[in-house]
């Protein structure tokens, strides 16, 4: 049976009950606990479907955390009898206090008790509650039922009830528990002097004749007294039929509705000690409601160490300049290659100017159309002479003015995957990204472009640099890898700096497009020179996408606030999943950091605003959860571009379905990819839109209609069509980008 209660909602309920913004965690524990130092309330996870039962249990556990002193139980830990009495009386006290403080949970207590009682959670089916129970158990059931059970109390009993009602502090509870326990012992001694002591139902219920019982251990037999089929399904007040059929005779069915009878036998296996048996049975059966399979790791996002993880564009430019100088000393022909790259890049840039400008026009048109839809028309107060003839039957004789609201301020942030698996598609992706950058520059919006790499700190200079980490960890933070976030393009750059940076990025794409060879592809090395490669710190490595998203969670709000951005788009360009998270940071008493083992089967990421549940085991799905944090907390659009290398491989099937699938949705995606060169996925976790791109169609094509030599209309139309297709359709990233963000 799975938990169908929304744990996040119950955490909010617990926060409200606690009257402070404490941290609430549900986990695989038996009882509630409260960390006073870190203000963390830990609650059990219950396998119940009834809202009333769950809310009752949550309110009860919160009451313990609020009103029961943490060290109170240590004083009575070795006395099972006194501990049992204190447990009952303390429950009476805290339940009264929590219901008085929050009257809204009173109904939950009423309904929750009825559901539990109908499943014999107190072990009293077939018992006479007035004859077979000691006073402590009568008090337990009387207060658990909100004083609704038909107990017959004499005057002395009522005196005890008055004292229970007057309990205010834990000290009062311990004092009354000792007093009541001593009184009960004296009552038992008096009963033992009676000649028919062995025949008393009370003796049978508590197994008081068992002198050889092991008093150091309380045995609770929850398998008898109608435990039922152990499904523990608490769906409603009326779930009292199937649960008890197997262990009850037909004659007991009427007793289920009213647990008052003349049954024999010890309740819950009676221990021979003066223990509140109904409380022990309830605690034992309550453990069956605990979810023992779900283990949750609650993690916070670590604070980025910006100086160690972010590499500025100035550093990027400086690193490349130094690298080219050093390479030219070893390979003099590298200087010729540098000149060739500069020329080839300028040619690429010029070839794509028309594409970029066309898309700028499309962007402005779509943005203007959106503003026009929000336009309003109002009277100016100036009479329109053309409307004067209609003044006798119409009051509308004034000129009107159409008011178009100001367009929203746009902003962009892009992440480029700089991992080894991108090698085969990096050249195509870089070409597309460069177009995106110049597009953003032309429409003059704030933008930042980063590539994330695992190699930036691997080649640090000196031992001190090696000690630098990308994050500042605290207890409970998610443990991540060290990485670098390289700022390769920004609206803050001068035009010369942007061109230089894009040229270096272009050369990096060429290097990997040539599969690491030092020679220019398809060219004479002696003419073009040697490929100078790149600094080691910018080599391809693993995929620290999660690390980059954690840093962006801090960068985005600063970026939006600084430039007053109203509509921001966040783009990832990657070919696969991210690194797995390493675990969770735990700090021991000596201040030493320990990375916990990955023993949880669910991860919940915590921010100051709320919790975000990750439905996958441990690290799977963390990327989508981080993206949801960005979308929810910063109000941005998230767009993902995933480049696949083979339409028949597992990677394509992951998003497009099997090649043999006849599912209409899968067929539609594959047809869209064939026709439009892109498949748009609307339900990819973490993304507003997710585009699947085929590597074969990522090349930027250009066709110039000025090259037409024929005067035939057919040839001109064909060339023009090819030109427009080359400029727009083949530029998948730009085209889809415009449709979404404008």
Q: Which pLDDT band, with edges at 50, 70 and 90, does 515 fall under?
A: low
- Strand pairing report for 689-694 and 678-681: antiparallel
pLDDT of residue 242: 35
Which of these, 243, 217, 249, lies nearest to 231 by C-alpha position?
243
Classified as helix, coil or strand, 47 is coil
Classified as helix, coil or strand, 35 is strand
Q: Where are the alpha helices (DSSP H) in 443-571?
A: 463-466, 495-513, 525-528, 545-563
Report yes or no: 284 and 220 within 8 Å, Cβ to Cβ.
Answer: yes
pLDDT tens, 45-71?
877 767 888 788 878 878 887 788 877
The pTM of this model reads: 0.71
pLDDT of residue 584: 86
Q: Which pLDDT band, with edges at 50, 70 and 90, does 221 fall under?
A: very low
Between 137-151, 236-250, 462-476, 659-673, the lowest mean confidence (pLDDT) is in: 236-250
Among the ranges 126-130, 170-174, 420-424, 522-526, which has the highest mean pLDDT value?
Answer: 170-174
Between 141-150, 170-179, 716-725, the lowest mean confidence (pLDDT) is in: 716-725
Percent of the chain with pLDDT over 70: 70
Answer yes or no: is pLDDT of 415 > 70: yes
pLDDT of residue 202: 79
Report yes or no: 365 and 359 within 8 Å, Cβ to Cβ.
Answer: no
Q: How far apart are CA 114 and CA 109, in angstroms?
A: 9
pLDDT tens, 278-326?
888 888 887 777 877 788 888 899 999 998 899 999 999 999 999 999 9
| Range 310-348+409-472+482-580+619-702 has CATH code 3.40.50.720 | no
pLDDT tens, 169-208?
999 999 999 999 999 999 888 888 888 888 777 777 787 7
Answer yes or no: is pLDDT of 2 > 70: no
Output the CA–CA distances (angstroms, integers) from residue 174 to 74, 89, 171, 181, 357, in the order listed. Answer: 12, 9, 5, 10, 81
Q: Where are the alpha helices (DSSP H) in 42-148?
A: 51-67, 80-101, 106-118, 135-144
CA 602 to chain centre: 10
pLDDT of residue 723: 53
pLDDT of residue 717: 59
Q: Which pLDDT band, with edges at 50, 70 and 90, does 266 fall under?
A: very low
- Strand pairing report for 611-614 and 602-606: antiparallel
Mean per-residue pLDDT, 470-474: 90
Mean per-residue pLDDT, 602-611: 84
pLDDT tens, 127-136?
888 888 899 9
Answer yes or no: is pLDDT of 367 > 90: no
Mean pLDDT of the chain: 76
Between 354-368, 408-422, 560-574, the lowest mean confidence (pLDDT) is in: 354-368
Answer yes or no: is pLDDT of 465 > 50: no
Higher pLDDT, 80 or 380: 80
pLDDT of residue 697: 65
Query: Which contiguous run of DSSP H or E holds residue 263?
Result: none
For residue 73, what is the DSSP state?
A: G
Output the CA–CA distances (angstroms, integers) from residue 339 to 7, 117, 326, 333, 347, in the order listed. Answer: 62, 86, 16, 10, 13
- Strand pairing report for 410-417 and 567-574: parallel
Answer yes or no: is pLDDT of 231 > 70: no
Q: What is the number of alpha carbons within 13 Å of residue 275 lying toward its C-beta?
A: 27
Report yes or no: 389 and 382 within 8 Å, Cβ to Cβ.
Answer: no
Which of these, 124, 145, 118, lies nearest to 238 by C-alpha position?
118
Torsion of CA 334, 335, 337, 340, to 10 degrees: 180
Mean per-residue pLDDT, 215-221: 40
Higher pLDDT, 483 or 665: 483
Answer yes or no: is pLDDT of 497 > 60: yes
pLDDT of residue 489: 97
Report yes or no: 125 and 263 within 8 Å, Cβ to Cβ.
Answer: yes
Report yes or no: 32 and 61 within 8 Å, Cβ to Cβ.
Answer: yes
pLDDT of residue 618: 54
pLDDT of residue 733: 57
Percent of the chain with pLDDT over 90: 27
pLDDT tens, 3-49?
444 555 566 666 566 556 667 787 877 766 766 666 777 777 877 76
pLDDT of residue 550: 96
Mean per-residue pLDDT, 611-626: 75
Higher pLDDT, 486 or 667: 486
pLDDT of residue 162: 95
Report yes or no: 88 and 144 within 8 Å, Cβ to Cβ.
Answer: no
pLDDT of residue 527: 52
Q: Which pLDDT band, with edges at 50, 70 and 90, does 529 fall under?
A: low
Q: How far apart are CA 302 and CA 28, in angstroms?
A: 24
Between 258-262, 344-348, 642-646, the lowest mean confidence (pLDDT) is in: 258-262
pLDDT tens, 270-279?
444 788 888 8
Task: Give domain limits for the chain.
Answer: 7-288, 310-348+409-472+482-580+619-702
Report yes or no: 697 and 644 within 8 Å, Cβ to Cβ.
Answer: no
Instruction: Return the structure tokens found at 38.
Output: 């870190």
Q: Which pLDDT band, with edges at 50, 70 and 90, does 232 fall under?
A: very low
């Amino acid at each position: 049976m799975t938990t169908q209660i929304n744990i996040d909602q119950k955490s909010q309920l617990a926060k409200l009950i606690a009257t402070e913004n404490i941290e609430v965690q549900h986990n695989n524990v038996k009882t509630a606990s409260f960390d006073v130092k870190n203000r963390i309330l830990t609650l059990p996870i219950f396998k119940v479907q009834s809202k009333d039962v769950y809310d009752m249990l949550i309110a009860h556990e919160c009451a313990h955390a609020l009103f029961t002193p943490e060290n109170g139980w240590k004083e009575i830990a070795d006395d099972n009898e006194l501990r049992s009495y204190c447990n009952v009386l303390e429950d009476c006290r805290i339940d009264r206090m929590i219901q008085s403080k929050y009257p809204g949970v009173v109904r939950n207590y009423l309904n929750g008790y009825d559901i539990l009682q109908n499943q014999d959670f107190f072990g009293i089916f077939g018992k006479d509650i007035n004859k077979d129970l000691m006073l402590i158990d009568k008090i337990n059931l009387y207060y658990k039922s909100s004083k609704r059970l038909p107990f017959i109390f004499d005057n002395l009993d009522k005196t005890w009830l008055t004292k229970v009602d007057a309990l205010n502090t834990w000290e009062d509870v311990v004092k009354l528990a000792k007093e009541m326990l001593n009184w009960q012992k004296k009552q038992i001694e008096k009963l033992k002097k009676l000649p028919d002591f062995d025949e008393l139902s009370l003796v049978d219920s508590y197994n008081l004749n068992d002198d050889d019982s092991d008093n150091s251990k309380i045995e609770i037999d929850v398998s008898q007294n109608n435990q039922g089929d152990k499904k523990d399904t608490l769906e409603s007040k009326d779930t009292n039929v199937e649960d008890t059929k197997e262990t009850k005779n037909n004659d007991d069915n009427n007793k289920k509705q009213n647990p008052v009878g003349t049954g024999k036998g010890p309740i819950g296996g009676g221990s021979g000690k003066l223990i509140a048996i109904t409380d022990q049975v309830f605690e034992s059966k309550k453990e069956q409601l605990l979810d023992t399979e779900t283990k949750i790791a609650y993690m916070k996002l670590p604070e980025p160490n910006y100086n160690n993880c972010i590499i500025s564009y100035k550093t990027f430019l400086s690193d490349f300049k130094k690298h080219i100088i050093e390479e030219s000393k070893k390979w003099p022909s590298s200087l010729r290659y540098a000149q060739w790259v500069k020329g080839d890049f300028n040619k690429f840039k010029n070839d794509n100017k028309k594409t970029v400008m066309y898309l700028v026009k499309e962007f402005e048109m779509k943005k203007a159309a959106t503003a026009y839809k929000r336009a309003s028309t109002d009277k100016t107060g100036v009479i329109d002479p053309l409307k004067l003839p209609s003044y006798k039957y119409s009051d509308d004789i004034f000129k009107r003015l159409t008011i178009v609201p100001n367009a929203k301020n746009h902003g962009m942030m892009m992440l480029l995957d700089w991992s080894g698996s991108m090698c085969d598609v990096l050249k195509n992706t870089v070409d597309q990204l460069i177009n995106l950058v110049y597009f953003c520059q032309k429409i003059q919006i704030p933008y930042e472009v980063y590539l994330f790499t695992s190699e930036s700190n691997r080649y640090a200079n000196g031992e001190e640099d090696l000690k630098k980490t990308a994050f500042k960890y605290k207890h409970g933070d998610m443990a991540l890898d060290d990485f670098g976030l390289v700022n390769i393009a920004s609206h803050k750059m001068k035009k010369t700096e942007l061109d230089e940076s894009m040229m270096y990025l272009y050369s990096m794409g060429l290097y990997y497009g040539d599969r690491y060879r030092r020679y220019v592809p398809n060219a004479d090395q002696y003419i073009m020179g040697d490929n100078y490669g790149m600094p080691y710190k910018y080599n391809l490595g693993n995929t620290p996408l999660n690390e980059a998203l954690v840093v962006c969670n801090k960068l985005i709000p600063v970026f939006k606030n600084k430039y007053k951005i109203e509509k921001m788009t966040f783009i990832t360009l990657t070919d696969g999943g991210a690194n797995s998270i390493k675990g969770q940071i735990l700090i021991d008493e000596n201040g030493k950091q320990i990375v916990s083992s990955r023993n949880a089967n669910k991860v919940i990421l915590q921010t100051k605003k709320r919790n975000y549940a990750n439905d996958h085991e441990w690290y799977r799905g963390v990327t989508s959860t981080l993206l949801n944090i960005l979308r929810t907390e910063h109000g941005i659009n998230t767009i993902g571009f995933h480049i696949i290398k083979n339409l028949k491989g597992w990677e394509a099937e992951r998003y497009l379905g099997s090649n043999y699938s006849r599912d209409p949705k899968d067929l539609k995606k594959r047809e869209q990819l064939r026709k439009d060169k892109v498949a748009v996925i609307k339900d990819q976790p973490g993304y507003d839109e997710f585009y699947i791109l085929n590597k074969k169609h990522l090349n930027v094509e250009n066709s110039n209609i000025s090259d037409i030599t024929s005067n035939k209309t057919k040839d001109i139309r064909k060339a023009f069509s090819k030109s427009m297709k080359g400029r727009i359709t083949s530029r998948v990233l730009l085209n889809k980008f415009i449709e979404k963000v404008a």
